[in-house]
């Protein structure tokens, strides 16, 4: 049964299998963040030292927070807004909560707004995520049509077509959003598991082959050095918040997506192990993406790094190699399916909030949210044409939206969720979820985890935000 079909007496439909959850959670985490965003952010922040910082942030803050969001979902059996309502008004689950008495109880009601903010962030991300997914779709089609054209695939021309044609970008964005809406209307189990399940292993193998190709280029040693040798002098005041923001984005933290996924978890799934696997897989794939892209970028004629780097570098490699178009088709198809998986996770989590409130049917909620994302997508989709002249320190509209959301809004929400888990959810409930068969290791880890959620994560997020703010002005 899809959650929509339950109607008013809706019961949450849980993942059919534990594997189904992994596929969906990894499917949500793994996407454009790894292949499109990580290389360009790592390059902008100077390479090795930033990569180290990013990996540390993923392990020390990303993983505990991911566990926290999954737990919020599993304990409340609600999506972000409903989970935050529970945190504010459900004394059985949250410490210090007071039952809802028909009127808003400030400041307690602020938790509900935190949930709403997360849903808003999801909508914003979905919008420009759809624009980049449109770029992926474009390159997929360009490779597909290459054998039919006399001149074959031309990397530079393909990018130029996209850059110069705002209408094409709007059209591709809407195609992507339409596909996402249709999949989400069909419901969680049929929707997400099926799409993502078949994709991952194929993509990982394909990536492996491409990484080998890329590493056989003469610039490989230099690229490896750039990626893994930490030169701390390259870090700036804003590097910590860039690293943290990217960790949140790539692990889908701060959007409420993982709360929704947690709410569909089976009773017997051990959350910390699930969180660990998702974090490890996702981080490894990002590092893999670095191995793929950097050998191609170092010494390349296009010196500028930026959001287009994936689309500048990889197609050139494929253009130059024999039967490159076959790899091009396969790579961009896989990347498209990965970004589809992530987009579906985003829309699913937005929609499930409406369903919790029983305001809309699944169908209506998906269409209304999809239309909202489409409207928000207009500015980034036109950032290389109509809004070409809107710039801030060399960044276009798409980059400005991306940076404001990921380095500004997301850390604030993540901080809020961290405090909600640490200071509101009842200790006994969390402990039961965390500690596995009373094993000493998980008991000890539980102590570290709660301390991280209550103190370490909030302090580090706050400090990174402060440094980033100072960095903006000096
Ligand atoms: N984590 C996804 C990526 O790296 C992006 C995403 C964020 C997906 C939030 C779903 C929810 O591409």
Alpha-carbon span 114 to 263, nearest angstrom: 18
Q: Which of 108-117, 182-191, 255-264, 272-281 has the lowest mean pLDDT?
A: 182-191
Residue 255 CB–ligand 1 contact under 6 Å: yes
C-alpha separations of 35 from 39, 304, 310, 462 in Å: 7, 17, 7, 28
Count how many Cα atoms sit within 13 Å of the Cα of residue 397 in the half-sphere of its side chain: 18
Neighbours of 179 (CB within 10 A): 18
383 pocket-lining for ligand 1 (C-beta < 6 Å): no
Q: Is the pLDDT of residue 198 over 70?
A: no
pLDDT above 50 for 11: yes
The contacts found for 241-244 with CB under 8 angstroms, 24 or more apart, are 241/407, 241/411, 241/464, 241/465, 241/467, 241/468, 242/41, 242/44, 242/45, 242/50, 242/407, 242/468, 243/45, 243/50, 243/53, 243/54, 243/57, 243/464, 244/57, 244/61, 244/411, 244/460, 244/461, 244/464
Q: Is 34 in the pocket of ligand 1 (CB under 6 A)?
A: yes
Confidence of residue 77 (pLDDT cuts 50, 70, 90): very high
**pLDDT at residue 193 is higher than 60:** no
| pLDDT top residue among 312 and 4 | 312
At residue 195, the pLDDT reads 61
Q: What pLDDT shows up at residue 22?
A: 76
CA-only gyration radius of the chain, Å: 22
Q: Kindly state if the Cβ of 245 falls inside 6 Å of ligand 1.
A: no
Nearest CA-CA partner of 62 in 259, 279, 261: 279
pLDDT greater than 70 at residue 16: no
- What is the pTM (predicted TM-score) of this model? 0.92
Q: Determine the distance separating the centroid of ligand 1 and the alpha carbon of 341, expressed in angstroms.
A: 9
| Nearest CA owner, ligand 1 atom 11 | 252
Please tell me if the CB atom of residue 226 comes closer than 6 angstroms to any atom of ligand 1: no
Residue nearest ligand 1's atom 8 by CA: 342
Neighbours of 301 (CB within 10 A): 7
Region 382-396: mean pLDDT is 82
Q: Rounded CA gap, 314 and 437, in Å?
A: 48
pLDDT in tens, 23-73: 778 878 888 999 999 998 998 898 999 999 999 999 999 999 999 999 999
pLDDT tier, 299 (very low <50, low <70, confident <90, very high otherwise): low
* pLDDT for the residue 78: 92
Residue 89, token pair as written in the block: 């008004």
Which of 80, 342, 343 gets mutated to test ligand 1 (max ligand atoms within 8 A of its CB)? 342
pLDDT band at 7 (very low <50, low <70, confident <90, very high): very low
Confidence of residue 162 (pLDDT cuts 50, 70, 90): very high
The yes-or-no verdict on residue 244 having pLDDT over 50 is yes
Task: Flag the least confident range among 33-37, 121-125, 217-221, 391-395.
Answer: 391-395
Alpha helices in 187-320 (DSSP H): 188, 194-197, 200-215, 220-228, 239-250, 257-263, 271-297, 309-320
Phi-psi region at 12: left, alpha or beta (left = phi > 0; alpha = psi -120 to 50): beta
Query: Three-class SS of residue 67?
Result: helix
Task: Report whether residue 256 contacts ligand 1, using a CB cutoff of 6 Å.
Answer: no
Nearest CA to ligand 1 atom 7: 252
| Beta partners for residue 392, in sequence order | 395
Task: Report the pLDDT averaged over residues 105-113.
Answer: 91
For the chain, which residues make up each domain, given as ranges? Answer: 3-473
pLDDT in tens, 139-154: 999 999 888 877 778 8
Of 193-202, 326-335, 376-385, 460-469, the poorest mean pLDDT is in 193-202
Q: Which pLDDT score is estimated for 4?
A: 35
Q: What are the pLDDT digits (tens) for 415-438?
A: 999 999 999 999 999 999 999 777
Spatial separation of the C-alpha atoms in residues 319 and 278, rounded to whole Å: 34
User: Is pLDDT of 74 > 90?
Assistant: yes
Answer yes or no: is pLDDT of 103 > 50. yes
The answer to whether the CB of 346 is under 6 A from ligand 1 is yes
pLDDT for residue 322: 77
Give the per-residue pLDDT at 115: 97
pLDDT given at position 175: 97
Once rounded to an integer, what is the mean pLDDT over residues 407-417? 97
Cα of 32 vs centre of ligand 1, distance in Å, is: 7
Better-predicted residue by pLDDT, 120 or 355 = 120
Give residue 10's pLDDT: 43
Over the chain, what is the mean pLDDT?
Answer: 88
pLDDT at 303 over 60: no
Residue 133 CB–ligand 1 contact under 6 Å: no
Q: Is 127 in the pocket of ligand 1 (CB under 6 A)?
A: no
Instruction: Among 25, 26, 30, 33, name the best residue to mutate to test ligand 1's pocket (greatest count of ligand atoms within 8 A of Cβ).
Output: 33
Winning range, highest mean pLDDT, from 147-161, 228-242, 326-340, 386-400: 228-242
pLDDT tens for residues 78-99? Answer: 999 999 999 999 988 988 888 8
Measured in Å, residue 34 CA sits from the centre of ligand 1 at: 9
Residue ranges with strand state E in 323-411: none
Alpha-carbon distances, residue 393 vs 341, 390, 396, 400 (angstroms): 33, 10, 9, 10
Relative to the CA of 345, which ligand 1 atom is closest? 10
345 lines ligand 1 (CB under 6 A): yes
Q: Kindly state the percentage of the chain with pLDDT values over 90.
A: 55
pLDDT at 15 over 80: no
- Lowest-confidence region among 63-77, 103-117, 319-333: 319-333
Interval 444-469 mean pLDDT: 97
The protein residue with its alpha carbon nearest to ligand 1, atom 9, reads 252
Hey, which of 129, 339, 410 would you mutate to test ligand 1's pocket, going by the most ligand atoms within 8 Å of its Cβ?
129
Q: pLDDT tens for residues 391-400?
A: 887 788 888 9
Confidence of residue 178 (pLDDT cuts 50, 70, 90): very high
> Cα of 245 to ligand 1 centre, how many Å?
12
CA of 256 to the centre of ligand 1 (A): 11
Does 6 have pLDDT greater than 50? no
User: Does 3-473 carry CATH code 2.60.90.10?
Assistant: no
């Amino acid at each position: 049964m899809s959650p929509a079909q339950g109607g008013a007496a809706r019961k949450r439909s849980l993942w059919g299998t534990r594997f189904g959850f992994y596929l969906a959670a990894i499917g949500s985490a793994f996407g454009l963040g790894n292949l499109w965003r990580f290389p360009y952010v790592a390059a902008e922040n100077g390479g090795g030292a930033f990569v180290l910082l990013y990996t540390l942030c993923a392990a020390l803050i990303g993983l505990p927070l991911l566990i926290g969001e999954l737990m919020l979902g599993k304990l409340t059996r609600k999506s972000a807004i409903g989970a935050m309502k529970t945190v504010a008004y459900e004394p059985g689950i949250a410490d210090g909560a007071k039952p809802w008495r028909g009127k808003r109880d400030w400041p307690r009601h602020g938790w509900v707004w935190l949930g709403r903010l997360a849903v808003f962030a999801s909508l914003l991300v979905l919008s420009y995520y759809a624009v980049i997914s449109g770029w992926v779709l474009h390159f997929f089609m360009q490779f597909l049509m290459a054998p039919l054209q006399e001149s074959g695939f031309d990397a530079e021309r393909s990018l130029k077509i996209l850059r110069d044609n705002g209408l094409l970008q709007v059209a591709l964005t809407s195609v992507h959003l339409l596909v996402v809406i249709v999949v989400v209307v069909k419901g969680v189990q049929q929707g997400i598991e099926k799409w993502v399940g078949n994709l991952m292993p194929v993509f990982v193998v394909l990536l492996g082959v491409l990484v080998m190709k890329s590493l056989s280029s003469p610039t490989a040693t230099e690229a490896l050095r750039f990626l893994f040798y930490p030169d701390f002098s390259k870090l700036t005041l804003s590097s910590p918040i860039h690293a943290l923001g990217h960790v949140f984005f790539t692990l889908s933290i701060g959007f409420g997506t993982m709360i929704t996924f947690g709410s569909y978890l089976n009773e017997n799934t051990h959350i910390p192990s699930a969180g660990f696997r998702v974090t490890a897989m996702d981080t490894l794939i990002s590092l893999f993406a670095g191995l793929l892209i950097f050998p191609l970028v170092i010494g390349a004629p296009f010196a500028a790094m930026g959001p287009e780097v994936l689309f500048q570098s990889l197609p050139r490699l494929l253009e130059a190699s024999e039967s490159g178009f076959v790899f091009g088709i396969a790579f961009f198809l896989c990347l498209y399916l990965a970004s589809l998986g992530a987009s579906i996770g985003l829309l699913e989590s937005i929609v499930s909030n409406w369903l919790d409130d029983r305001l809309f049917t699944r169908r209506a909620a998906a269409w209304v949210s999809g239309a909202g994302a489409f409207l928000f997508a207009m500015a980034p989709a036109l950032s290389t044409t109509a809004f070409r002249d809107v710039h801030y320190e060399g960044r276009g509209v798409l980059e400005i939206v991306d940076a404001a959301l990921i380095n500004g809004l997301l850390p604030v929400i993540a901080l809020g969720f961290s405090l909600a888990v640490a200071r509101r959810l009842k200790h006994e409930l969390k402990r039961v979820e965390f500690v596995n068969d009373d094993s000493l290791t998980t008991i000890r880890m539980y102590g570290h985890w709660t301390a991280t959620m209550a103190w370490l994560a909030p302090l580090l997020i706050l400090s990174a935000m402060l440094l980033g703010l100072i960095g903006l002005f000096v």
